Amino acid sequence: MKAKLFHHNDRMEIRLSNTEQFIAGEDENQAGFYRRIEAYVELEYDEDIIDPVSEIDIKKMKKETSAALERRLPLLQDGVETEMIREILESRGIELPNFEPESKPEPKCKPKKNLNVGKACTFTPFRQDVSMSGTIKAFVADKRVDRSYYKILAQDKKIYHKRINNDQLSIS
């Protein structure tokens, strides 16, 4: 998973590619903050953060046009990036309207922690006729397309994924 680190005035924020946002504690250093988010992503999404994390400070952001910054502002939650954009636009003499960030609709498939994780199952891999057995290793909710999957470690040591309501999956 890709991540961007925003830092400005001793404040830090990491935004993941799925738009999830994390703000560092007041006494947290950059390395500790990064390790905390890395552990969270590995636990929740069973993925790694891609190194190197893009570091963005106010100098890099000042290179962007005012129009680009104005378009991005309503899409953001409050945080370090929003603070930086507002500061840049105000320094350029652009009046900012007071508005609330758009709220995103709740996804229909909410991840449930440890849902059937660790249980044995039998399934038929895609485009194969042979039934295999394995162990469910993770539950994954894809918010982009509103689908939920199980990641399954099969006996052949490969990882497969199946939708949770698939007919070809039976959980023991």
In order, the DSSP letters of 2-25 are -EEEEEETTEEEEEETT--EEE--
Q: What pLDDT score was predicted for residue 40?
A: 85
Q: What pLDDT score was predicted for residue 38?
A: 85
pLDDT in tens, the chain (172 residues): 888 889 888 889 988 888 888 888 888 888 888 888 888 888 888 887 766 678 888 999 999 999 999 888 888 877 888 889 989 999 999 887 765 555 555 555 454 555 788 899 999 988 888 899 999 988 888 777 778 888 999 989 888 888 888 888 888 8
Beta strands 120-123 and 132-142 are antiparallel
